[in-house]
Structure 1
Amino acid sequence: MIGLKDSDKKNYNTRRRTLLYLIQKYLNDYGYPDIATTLKSEALLNDYEVCDNIDIDIIFLEYCSYQQLKFELPEEWKQFSDMIMRTTLSKNSKIHFKDIIGNDEAITTIKEAVILPLENPLLFENELKPWKSLLLYGPPGCGKTLIAKALCSEIHDYMSFFNITSSVIISKWRGDSEKILNTLFIIARNMAPSVIFFDEIECLTNERNTIHEHESSHRLKSEFLTLLDGIHDSNDNIFVLANTNVPWLIDSAFLRRFEKKILIKLPTIDERQALFHYYLEDSKKWPNHIMEEIKKLSNGFTGDEIRISYVIEKKDVCVNSQLLIDILKSMKPNSYSQYEKHCQWQEEKGSMDRKN
């Protein structure tokens, strides 16, 4: 607990042991004596007599007090820490990397940056360091948020995952936005290893304009830049993942701090076929000329648009290829023209494919 006074350190350790005693007593009372014995042995707990009215509410209140000291936050920031803790995703979304079709480069890079250092820490003992930040960009519906959900599922047992939107950070009160952002990184540092996911990050990092920009917006961006510098300059096990549909709106200072910028591409012709087979099991039995027409009609569609065509067809009791073809003919790819702009931006500022 760097930065705490000696008296606070003692109070912190006392709170921690008190919490362990309460949990051990609760486990004993509610039919888990083996687990309680293991906890007592591992935590080196003594045979203290604890009151007999321990319940979940008492344990929770003690836990809140313990966390307040652990995060080294001023009392006035407690409301911010409570709000940040609510963004922590602890549930498994049941979507894993193996369920995602395409975008292998982005998935491989995320695995190397987040999962590999935990599974093989010896690889990063010397000067070699894993990526600390990654920006995913591309048209809406290509799978940027889906990849983040899959990462959360892959790591939910041993890492903290914070799902942050602009509504969490932005406050109408002067100075509170910077405090919330600071609180987020303090909590992520104390709960490390951690992943902070910023959804639609352009809302927080749009290009700075010294003439028309409000002072509070400028202060928030300056604080954000400082915090991003901090994760790169330290050994804190924090990974920042962000996505955006409009990378050209992000300020160049923020782009520089994202070590990898990866385009989430539209599905290829083979990936589109795999998507139809994934959503429609019967499509695997359709003749080749039917599938060729379906793949041709779905050119330029995002994965989400292919999913929507499946949802529309699913309302019909009888699933058949002709109905799907009619639906695809009535749909237009909304993101295709914007995708060309993303490809151009990739040539100028993005991270190139590994094969290049």
Structure 2
Amino acid sequence: MKTQGKYGVTAQSTATILCEDVRNFSTRRRNMLYLMHRYLLENGYYSSAEALKNEGRLSDDFELCDNVDLDAIYLEYASFFNMKFGKYPRILKKMSAKIKVERTTGAATAATLTATVASTTAKDTSNKTNKDSSSLANWHVGVGAAASQINNSMEHQQSNQLKLHIKKLETTTTTTEQQQPSHYSGMSEIEHGAHATDDALFCSMDWQVLGELVKTTILREPINLRWSDICGNHRAIELIKEAVLTPIDYPQLFAHGLRPWRSLLLHGPPGSGKTLLAKVLYAETQSRVTFFNITASVMVSKWRGESEKILRVLFHMAARRTPAVIFFDEIEGLTSKRDRATDHESSKRFKNELLQLLDGMEHNTLGHGVFVLASTNLPWDIDEAFLRRFEKKILIQLPNALERSNLIQRLLGASNVSLNQHLLDQLVALSDQYTGDEIRLACKEISMQRVRCATRPSPAGGAVPKETQAIVEANLERAFKQVHPLGQKLLAKHEQWQQENGS
């Protein structure tokens, strides 16, 4: 049952009525007129208030609420704007450039007009020390005098036809604005491509703020990784190289309509190395490719419609900074199935916008220097429409015995742990069905055991006993047995999904 309010009106019905009042144009217009009428009365503009009341047909049947006035609404809007964009709004701006009047017919009248305008210009030049408002007023007075002279000339010369041309004066301010447009002051680092119409996207300050937010996702810190640091997954590495590096190294191969892979989805158990592939790609192409690392915290906004705008700005900036890579980590959080009853309207709008940007008519940038790389642990939770957008879907496999052996030797060799072939074979057997990250954790536990022995206080009057080979082997086996592999629980499900949906 609906809870009844104090005066017999339910809270839901009251909210519905107020919502209809806000959406109704005539109601909004009436409310604004009453706000202006109250403001004029409070500031002493009685004649203006009376004229507004008569022209706006305001009746005495309504009055403003006690807690609403025009000044309070102004302050509320300024506070909201500052909280959202980090700056206060600009309400007023300067007028456009000045104009001058010229006459093109009638020699005598043109000479008289030129003399009049010249005298007006001389008068304005002599008063340069005055304020801008005074100079502008004097200039308009001069133009009025010139126009009056023209009218008098027209009365005396009915046969002559007067033609006036209004031109924009070339001032220093306008020249500066032509050299450096003001609406690009906050986005000077964005390169502009062939699509000139898209450059109007950043004319508004709202879009410029979103552009600055997207620029924070561009990775710039150096990472010391190489392709050789990855054990296995050669097919995924080759596909990534074909999509990103081959078009850069051999552009002539894609000059006749052939397009490289535009999107790739990596799926597999947690810790199998999906994010590591993205890190290595960034490290290998840092100086040649713009890398966008996108997470849900950047894409999702609490403001209505802003998440879709962030997506549009992201793909726009990627198209202007080609070659570019957009990496979505844990993409199932953004691309879940759309037929769920628990989905909010904003979530559906966001997904529809992403679908349109990935493969739509307006932004057909993928395959033209923009590559989308995504990773997920739960590919079966992704909507089928998004799965169709990914041209390649690759399963990141668990390392085999040879790859595990190379990985263990590399990790333990950095800790100065000596391994014989028999002990190495035992560790490889113990690490069966381990992911690469789980092997790293086991090797890290071995290194920490050595740190504990080095920092352990020695017995009084004696040295620390040296560990025997049997103790070292027992510690190594204990470290690997402490790790409980999680990948084997999901590997069968990933393999089945790859057979049904992979490519």
Q: Does 2:502 correspond to 1:350? A: yes
Alignment length, in residue pairs?
298
Matches within 5 A, 1:41-190: 64-67=186-189, 70=192, 72-73=201-202, 74-190=204-320
Give the TM-score of the pair, scaled to structure 1.
0.78
CA-CA distance at 1:210 after TM superposition: 5.9
CA-CA distance at 1:283 after TM superposition: 8.2
Q: Cα distance 1:333–1:174, how it changes in 2: closer, same or farther (>3 A)?
A: same
Q: Cα distance 1:235–1:343, how it changes in 2: closer, same or farther (>3 A)?
A: closer
Q: Does 2:347 correspond to 1:217? A: yes
Matched with 1:50 is: none
CA distance in 2, matches of 1:235, 1:290: 49
Aligned with 1:205: secondary structure?
coil
Aligned with 2:491: secondary structure?
helix
Q: Does 2:411 correspond to 1:279? A: yes
- After superposition, the CA RMSD in angstroms is 2.5
Matched with 1:341 is: 493
Tell me if structure 1 keeps the 8 A contact 2:254–2:260: yes
Aligned with 2:188: secondary structure?
helix
CA-CA distance at 1:66 after TM superposition: 2.3
- 1:107-147: CA deviation from partner (whole Å, max 9, x where unpaired): 11000010000100111112321000000000110100010
Tell me if structure 1 keeps the 8 A contact 2:244–2:371: yes
CA distance in 2, matches of 1:238, 1:11: 35
- 1:17-73: CA deviation from partner (whole Å, max 9, x where unpaired): xxxxxxxxxxxxxxxxxxxxxxxxxxxxxxxxxxxxxxxxxxxxx973524795542
Tell me if structure 1 keeps the 8 A contact 2:260–2:367: no
Tell me if structure 1 keeps the 8 A contact 2:262–2:366: no
Q: Does 2:474 correspond to 1:322? A: yes
Aligned with 1:306: secondary structure?
helix
Give the TM-score of the pair, scaled to structure 2.
0.56
User: Aligned letter for 2:265?
Assistant: L
Matched with 1:270 is: 402
Matched with 1:56 is: none
Segment of structure 1 superposing worse, 276-285 or 165-174: 276-285
CA distance in 2, matches of 1:12, 1:302: 59
CA distance in 2, matches of 1:157, 1:63: 26
Matched with 2:137 is: none
Of 427, 436, 444, the residue aligned with 1:294 is 427
CA-CA distance at 1:80 after TM superposition: 1.0
CA distance in 1, matches of 2:394, 2:271: 15
Aligned with 2:474: secondary structure?
helix
Matched with 2:92 is: none
Tell me if structure 1 keeps the 8 A contact 2:294–2:329: yes
Identical columns (%):
44
Aligned with 1:315: secondary structure?
helix
CA distance in 1, matches of 2:435, 2:326: 26
Matches within 5 A, 1:227-242: 227-230=357-360, 236-242=368-374
User: Aligned letter for 1:163?
Assistant: N
CA distance in 2, matches of 1:224, 1:105: 27
Tell me if structure 2 keeps the 8 A contact 1:137–1:264: yes
Tell me if structure 1 keeps the 8 A contact 2:265–2:394: yes
CA-CA distance at 1:287 after TM superposition: 2.7
CA-CA distance at 1:224 after TM superposition: 0.2
User: After TM superposition, what 4+ stretches of structure 1 lie above 6 angstroms from structure 2?
Assistant: 10-13
Of 387, 393, 397, the residue aligned with 1:255 is 387
Segment of structure 1 superposing worse, 64-73 or 254-263: 64-73
What runs of 5+ residues in structure 2 fail to find an aligned partner? 1-174, 193-198, 454-466
CA-CA distance at 1:246 after TM superposition: 0.3
